[in-house]
C-alpha cells in the first residue's frame, strides 16, 4: 500500500497536468471532448491523491520508520489517534493533506456543475487542476512524505508534545478545509473572467463555497485559539503571531465578501469589488502560507524554516499576475447595473463594513510585514508584537462592532429619518444602559466600557430583529413563541443565520474585553503551603499545595503539583498542573519538557495554573485569573452555528431562482416589453 501510495502521488501529478492542459485547451478551442477529458483527469487526480494519502496513513499506522516523515513525526509508543493525526502534523504530510482536500473539493465542485455552466466548466476545472499541479509538485519535489532515510531507525522521534492534544488533531484539518475552500471561488472567478460569463450563475456558486471556507476558517481559528490557550501555557489565546495572522487575513476578506455579495445580489452593484475580494481571499491564503513556511518572518511555528517558501512565492506571484491581467482586461464586463441611492442605506452600511474589514486585514498584513520592510529600509531588526497590533486594531475592531449593529437597522436603498429613529431607539438605549450600568458597578477601563456599550447596542439590534420577526409570525400565523422563533430562522436562514453570527461576534468581543481585567500571580509553594489571592471579581481564593509528585505513563515522565482550591471558603477541588518529559520506546527523552496547564473554567472566569518549574521541592507557579475566556469558545461556536444555518440550502428559494438581484430595478427595455 505504501508503494502504491508513493506511485499514486506521481501519477496524480501527471493526471493533474493533463487535466489542466486539456481543460484549458478545451475551453479555448471549444472542444467538448477535451473538456470531458480534463474533467475525468481531475477525478483521476483525486483518486490518485486519495491513494497517496491512504499510503501515508498506512505507513504511519504501521510505523514504517524507513520513511523520514514517519520517523520524524511519530514513535511506536504514541497514542494511535496522534499517529493518525501526524499525517498533517509535519511539513510534507500537511502539503499532501492540502492536496487531498483540494482534490476532493475540486472533484465536488466540478461534479456539481456537470451539465450546466458550460462556459465556465472548462476554466474552473483547468484552474483547479493548475492549483493542484502546484501543490502536488511541491509535495513531490520539495516536501515529499515518501522520502526515505538511509537507515531504518528502531523508533521514530515522536510528535511534538504540544501537538499531542485533541485540539491540534482537529484544528489543522478544519483550518486547511477553510484555506483550501478559497480555491473554489477563485477558480470560478477566474473562469467567469476568462469566459466573460459574469452573470448570476457563478455568483451563487461562489457564495456557497465562500461560506464553506468562512465556516471552516471560523472553526479552525477558534480551535487554534483554544489549543494555544490550553496547551502552550502562556495564559492567552491570541498573540498576533504570523501564523495566526495568516489565518485571520482570508477570514477578514472572506467576511467582507459575504457582506458585499449581498449588495450585488440585491442591487447588481459592486461587481468589480466582489471579484477583487474573491481573488484576494485566495491569494491571501497562499500568501499567508508562504509567510509562515518561508522563514521570511519569525513565527512560533515549526514550518517557519522550510524549503517550500520559494515555490509558494513563485506560485503567488504567478497567480497574482494572472488575476490582475484578467480583472483589468474585463473591467467593462464588470460594470454595475445599478447605482447607490443614498449614503444612509444598508448598501452603504455594508460598504463601510467592507472598508473596515479590509482596513483591518491591511493593518494586520502591514504589521506582519513591517519588520521585514524595516530591515530592508534601515537594516535594523525590529519586533512588531501585540502592543502594536492592539494599538492599531482595537479601535478598528470597535468600529466594526458598531457597524455590525448599524447595518441591519438601516433600510435598503434609502433610510428616512423616521425609519432611523424608530429602528435605532431601542438598540441605542440598550447599549447606553449597558455602559452606564457597568460604570455604576465600578468598571473604569475605557476600552472595556466602550466595547461593552457597543456590544449592548449590537445585542439590542439583534434582539429587536428577532422580537419583530417572532412577533409578526406569532400574530400572523398564531404560532407559539418557540415555534415562531424556529420557523422564523428556518424560513429566513440567510438573514437570521447572519444575526446568529453577529450574536457570536458580540459574545467574542465581550470575551476579548474581559482580558482587560486579567490578573497574574507568580508564587512559590512547598507541600502544605497556603496562598490567598483575590480575583478581578473580588472573590477570595485559597490555594493549598499538595506537594510535587512524579510518575511515568505511556510515553512520558510527569512532574505534577496539585493545589487544593477554595473560593470564598467553598472547596472547589484539586487543580493539577504538570511538566511532561516525553520519551521514545528506549526511554530516551524527546523534545523539551512541555506543560500541562491546570484549568478550572466557569462562566465568569478561568483559574489558570501553570507549573513553571520545580526547585528543591518548591513548585514555581503562575496562577492567573482570566475573565470570560470560556465565552471565546462559545462565541466561536455560535458563529459557526450561524454560518451553518446560513449555508444550509433553502429549497423554496432555490426553486424560485435564488436571491439574485431581487431589488435590482428592471431595465427600461424590459419594463417597456411588459406593457
Partner 1 sequence: MRRRDFLSRVVLGGVAIVAAPRLGGQVVSPPAGDAAPAQGTTSNLFDMNQEAAKTVRRPAKPGAVPSMTDDARDVLEHDIRCQCSCTLDVYTCRTTDFSCQVSPAMHRDVMSLVDGGYSAQEILDAFVQTYGERALMSPKREGFNWAGYLVPSVALAAGAAGLVVVLRGMQRRTAAIDAERRGDLLVNPATPEEHARLQAAIRRDD
- Which residues within the stretch 352-391 sit at the binding site for partner 1 (CB under 8 A)? 352, 355-356, 358-359, 362-363, 366-367, 370, 373-374, 377-378, 380-388, 391
Helix H, strand E, coil C: the string for 246-290 is HHHHHHHHHHHHHHHHHHHHHHCCCHHHHHHHHHHHHHHHHHHHH
| SS3 at position 622 | strand
Residues 395-434, mask of contacts with partner 1 (x by CB under 8 A): -x---------------x----------------------
The candidate with the shortest Cα–Cα distance to 266, out of 411, 157, 423, 445, is 411
Cβ 662 to partner 1, closest distance in Å? 5
Q: Which residues lie closer than 8 Å to 671 by C-beta, 6 or more apart?
A: none
Cβ 619 to partner 1, closest distance in Å? 12
Cβ 423 to partner 1, closest distance in Å? 12
Residue 527 CA: distances (Å) to CA of 557, 576, 610: 20, 13, 16
Alpha-carbon distance of 274 to 173, in angstroms, equals 27
Cβ 66 to partner 1, closest distance in Å? 8
Query: Residue from 56, 219, 225, 348 that binds partner 1 (CB under 8 A)?
Result: 348
Q: How many residues bind partner 1 (CB under 8 A)?
A: 95
Burial grade of 243 (CB within 10 A; 0-12, 13-18, 19 or more): buried
DSSP letter assigned to residue 666 = P
Strand partners, 548: 561
The region of 203-211, 225-233, 311-319, 438-446 touching partner 1 under the rule CB under 8 A is 225-233
Alpha-carbon distance of 416 to 553, in angstroms, equals 69
Q: Which CB atom, from 119 or from 465, has the smaller least distance to partner 1? A: 465
Q: Which CB atom, from 432 or from 620, has the smaller least distance to partner 1? A: 620
Query: Residue from 298, 335, 552, 568 that binds partner 1 (CB under 8 A)?
Result: 298
Q: Which CB atom, from 52 or from 319, has the smaller least distance to partner 1? A: 52
Q: Which CB atom, from 159 or from 640, has the smaller least distance to partner 1? A: 159
Q: Which CB atom, from 218 or from 354, has the smaller least distance to partner 1? A: 354
The answer to whether residues 520 and 533 touch, using CB atoms and an 8 Å cutoff, is no
CA angle in degrees (0–180, nearest 5) for 275-279-281: 115
Residues 526-565 that bind partner 1 (CB under 8 A): none
The region of 23-31, 67-75, 183-191, 448-456 touching partner 1 under the rule CB under 8 A is 67-75
Query: Residue from 74, 127, 235, 292 that binds partner 1 (CB under 8 A)?
Result: 235
Query: Residue from 300, 331, 429, 437 that binds partner 1 (CB under 8 A)?
Result: 300
Query: Residue from 24, 82, 146, 311 that binds partner 1 (CB under 8 A)?
Result: 146
Cβ 578 to partner 1, closest distance in Å? 11
Q: Which CB atom, from 3 or from 570, has the smaller least distance to partner 1? A: 3
Largest CA distance in the chain: 94
Q: Which CB atom, from 377 or from 603, has the smaller least distance to partner 1? A: 377
Instruction: Assess 339 for contact with partner 1 (CB under 8 A).
Output: yes
Query: Residue from 16, 132, 232, 263 that binds partner 1 (CB under 8 A)?
Result: 232
Residues 655-674, mask of contacts with partner 1 (x by CB under 8 A): -------xx--x----x--x
Instruction: Assess 234 for contact with partner 1 (CB under 8 A).
Output: yes
Q: Which CB atom, from 75 or from 183, has the smaller least distance to partner 1? A: 75
The candidate with the shortest Cα–Cα distance to 110, out of 203, 209, 13, is 209
Burial 559-580 (b: 16+ CB within 10 A, else e): bbbbbebbeeeeebeebbbbbb
Cβ 29 to partner 1, closest distance in Å? 16
The candidate with the shortest Cα–Cα distance to 515, out of 220, 167, 235, 225, is 235
Cβ 595 to partner 1, closest distance in Å? 5
The region of 227-235, 251-259, 452-460, 543-551 touching partner 1 under the rule CB under 8 A is 227-235
DSSP string, 466-480: HHHHHHHHHHHH---
Instruction: Assess 231 for contact with partner 1 (CB under 8 A).
Output: yes
Alpha-carbon distance of 604 to 608, in angstroms, equals 13
Query: Residue from 83, 181, 610, 646 that binds partner 1 (CB under 8 A)?
Result: 610
The region of 109-117, 143-151, 190-198, 326-334 touching partner 1 under the rule CB under 8 A is 143-151
Alpha-carbon distance of 116 to 113, in angstroms, equals 5
Residues 96-125 that bind partner 1 (CB under 8 A): none
Instruction: Assess 13 for contact with partner 1 (CB under 8 A).
Output: yes
Instruction: Assess 341 for contact with partner 1 (CB under 8 A).
Output: yes
Residues 485-504 that bind partner 1 (CB under 8 A): 495
Residues 162-221 that bind partner 1 (CB under 8 A): 162
Residue 518 CA: distances (Å) to CA of 440, 521, 597, 607, 624: 20, 10, 17, 10, 7
Taking phi first (over 0 means left), then psi (-120 to 50 degrees means alpha), and beta for anything else, what does residue 362 get? Answer: alpha
Cβ 515 to partner 1, closest distance in Å? 12
Q: Which residues lie closer than 8 Å to 17 by C-beta, 6 or more apart?
A: 129, 133
Residues 262-281 that bind partner 1 (CB under 8 A): none
Burial 2-18 (b: 16+ CB within 10 A, else e): beebbebbebbbebbbb
Residues 502-521 that bind partner 1 (CB under 8 A): 520
Q: Helices 493-514 and 630-647: crossing angle, nearest 10°?
A: 170
Q: Which CB atom, from 166 or from 359, has the smaller least distance to partner 1? A: 359
Instruction: Assess 153 for contact with partner 1 (CB under 8 A).
Output: yes
Q: Which CB atom, from 109 or from 623, has the smaller least distance to partner 1? A: 623
Taking phi first (over 0 means left), then psi (-120 to 50 degrees means alpha), and beta for anything else, what does residue 176 get? Answer: alpha
Alpha-carbon distance of 276 to 284, in angstroms, equals 12
Query: Residue from 594, 627, 642, 643 that binds partner 1 (CB under 8 A)?
Result: 594
Residues 621-650 that bind partner 1 (CB under 8 A): 622
Instruction: Assess 71 for contact with partner 1 (CB under 8 A).
Output: yes
Q: Which CB atom, from 58 or from 162, has the smaller least distance to partner 1? A: 162
Burial grade of 655 (CB within 10 A; 0-12, 13-18, 19 or more): exposed
Amino acid at each position: 500500500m505504501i508503494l502504491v501510495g508513493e506511485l499514486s502521488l506521481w501519477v496524480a501529478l501527471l493526471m493533474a497536468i493533463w487535466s489542466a492542459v486539456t481543460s484549458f485547451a478545451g475551453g479555448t478551442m471549444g472542444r467538448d471532448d477535451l473538456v470531458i477529458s480534463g474533467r475525468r483527469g481531475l477525478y483521476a487526480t483525486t483518486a490518485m491523491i486519495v491513494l497517496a494519502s491512504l499510503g501515508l496513513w498506512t505507513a504511519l499506522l504501521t510505523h514504517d520508520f524507513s520513511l523520514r516523515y514517519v520517523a520524524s513525526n511519530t514513535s511506536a509508543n504514541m497514542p494511535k489517534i496522534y499517529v493518525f493525526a501526524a499525517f498533517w502534523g509535519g511539513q510534507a504530510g500537511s502539503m499532501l493533506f492540502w492536496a487531498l482536500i483540494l482534490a476532493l473539493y475540486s472533484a465536488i465542485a466540478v461534479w456539481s456543475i456537470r451539465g450546466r455552466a458550460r462556459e465556465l466548466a472548462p476554466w474552473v476545472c483547468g484552474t483547479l487542476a493548475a492549483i493542484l499541479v502546484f501543490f502536488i509538485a511541491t509535495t513531490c519535489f520539495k516536501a515529499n512524505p515518501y522520502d526515505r532515510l538511509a537507515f531504518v531507525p528502531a523508533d521514530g522521534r515522536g510528535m511534538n508534545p504540544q501537538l499531542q492534544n485533541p485540539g491540534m488533531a482537529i484544528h489543522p484539518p478544519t483550518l486547511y478545509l477553510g484555506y483550501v475552500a478559497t480555491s473554489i471561488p477563485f477558480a470560478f472567478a477566474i473562469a467567469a473572467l476568462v469566459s466573460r460569463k459574469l452573470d448570476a450563475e457563478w455568483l451563487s456558486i461562489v457564495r456557497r463555497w465562500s461560506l464553506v471556507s468562512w465556516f471552516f476558517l471560523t472553526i479552525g481559528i477558534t480551535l487554534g485559539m483554544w489549543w494555544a490557550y490550553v496547551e502552550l501555557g502562556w495564559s492567552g489565546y491570541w498573540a498576533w503571531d504570523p501564523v495566526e495572522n495568516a489565518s485571520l487575513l482570508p477570514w477578514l476578506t472572506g467576511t467582507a465578501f459575504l457582506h458585499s455579495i449581498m449588495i450585488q445580489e440585491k442591487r447588481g452593484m459592486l461587481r468589480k469589488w466582489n471579484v477583487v475580494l474573491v481573488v484576494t481571499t485566495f491569494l491571501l491564503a497562499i500568501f499567508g502560507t508562504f509567510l509562515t513556511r518561508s522563514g521570511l518572518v519569525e513565527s512560533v511555528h515549526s514550518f517557519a524554516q522550510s524549503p517550500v517558501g520559494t515555490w509558494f512565492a513563485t506560485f503567488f506571484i504567478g497567480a497574482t499576475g494572472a488575476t490582475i491581467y484578467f480583472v483589468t482586461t474585463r473591467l467593462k464586463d464588470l460594470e454595475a447595473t445599478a447605482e447607490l441611492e443614498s449614503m444612509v442605506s444598508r448598501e452603504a452600511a455594508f460598504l463601510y463594513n467592507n472598508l473596515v474589514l479590509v482596513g483591518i486585514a491591511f493593518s494586520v498584513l502591514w504589521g506582519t510585514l513591517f519588520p521585514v520592510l524595516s530591515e530592508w529600509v534601515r537594516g535594523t531588526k525590529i519586533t512588531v508584537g501585540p502592543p502594536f497590533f492592539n494599538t492599531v486594531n482595537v479601535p478598528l475592531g470597535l468600529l466594526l462592532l458598531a457597524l455590525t449593529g448599524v447595518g441591519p437597522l438601516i433600510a435598503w436603498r434609502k433610510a428616512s429619518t423616521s425609519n432611523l429613529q424608530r429602528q435605532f431607539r431601542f438598540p441605542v438605549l440598550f447599549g447606553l444602559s449597558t455602559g452606564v450600568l457597568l460604570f455604576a458597578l465600578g468598571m473604569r477601563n475605557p476600552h472595556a466600557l466602550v466595547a461593552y456599550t457597543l456590544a449592548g447596542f449590537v445585542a439590542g439590534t439583534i434582539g429587536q430583529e428577532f422580537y419583530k420577526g417572532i412577533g409578526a409570525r406569532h400574530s400572523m400565523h398564531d404560532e407559539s413563541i418557540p415555534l415562531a422563533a424556529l420557523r422564523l430562522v428556518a424560513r429566513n436562514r440567510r438573514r437570521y443565520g447572519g444575526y446568529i453570527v453577529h450574536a457570536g461576534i458580540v459574545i467574542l468581543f465581550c470575551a476579548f474585553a474581559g482580558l482587560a481585567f486579567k490578573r497574574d500571580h507568580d508564587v512559590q509553594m512547598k507541600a502544605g503551603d497556603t496562598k490567598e489571592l483575590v480575583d478581578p471579581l473580588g472573590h477570595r481564593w485559597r490555594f493549598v499545595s499538595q506537594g510535587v509528585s512524579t510518575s511515568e505513563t505511556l510515553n512520558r515522565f510527569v512532574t505534577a503539583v496539585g493545589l487544593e482550591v477554595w473560593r470564598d471558603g467553598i472547596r472547589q477541588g484539586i487543580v493539577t498542573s504538570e511538566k511532561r518529559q516525553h520519551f521514545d520506546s528506549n526511554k530516551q527523552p524527546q523534545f523539551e519538557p512541555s506543560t500541562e496547564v491546570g484549568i478550572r473554567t466557569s462562566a465568569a472566569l478561568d483559574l489558570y495554573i501553570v507549573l513553571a518549574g520545580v526547585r528543591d521541592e518548591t513548585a514555581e507557579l503562575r496562577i492567573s485569573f482570566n475573565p470570560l475566556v470560556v465565552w471565546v469558545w462559545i462565541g466561536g461556536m455560535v458563529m459557526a452555528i450561524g454560518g451553518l444555518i446560513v449555508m444550509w440550502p433553502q429549497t423554496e428559494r432555490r426553486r424560485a431562482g435564488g436571491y439574485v438581484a431581487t431589488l435590482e430595478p428592471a431595465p427600461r427595455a424590459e419594463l417597456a416589453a411588459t406593457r
